[in-house]
Amino acid sequence: MNSDFAAGRELPRSFTTRMAVKIQSFGLSPKKAFEYLAMLLVLGAFIYFDLARGYRDNNCSVDRIIMFSDLPMIFLKYFLLTSWPFGLVAAFDSTWTTKDAGNVFLAAYITANAVWFHHTGCGLCIFAASFRAIPFLIGGMIAHSLGAWRHHSRAG
**Domain extents in the chain:** 29-155
pLDDT value of residue 12 = 55
For residue 101, how many other CB atoms are within 10 A of its CB?
23
Average pLDDT over residues 3-27: 68
pLDDT value of residue 41 = 92
- For residues 112 and 41, give the distance between their C-alpha atoms in angstroms, rounded to a whole number: 10
Ranked by mean pLDDT, the top range of 1-15, 91-105, 130-144 is: 91-105
Q: Which amino acid is at 12?
A: P
Give the 3-state secondary structure of 99-118. Answer: HHHHHHHHHHHHHHHHHHHH
pLDDT above 60 for 60: no
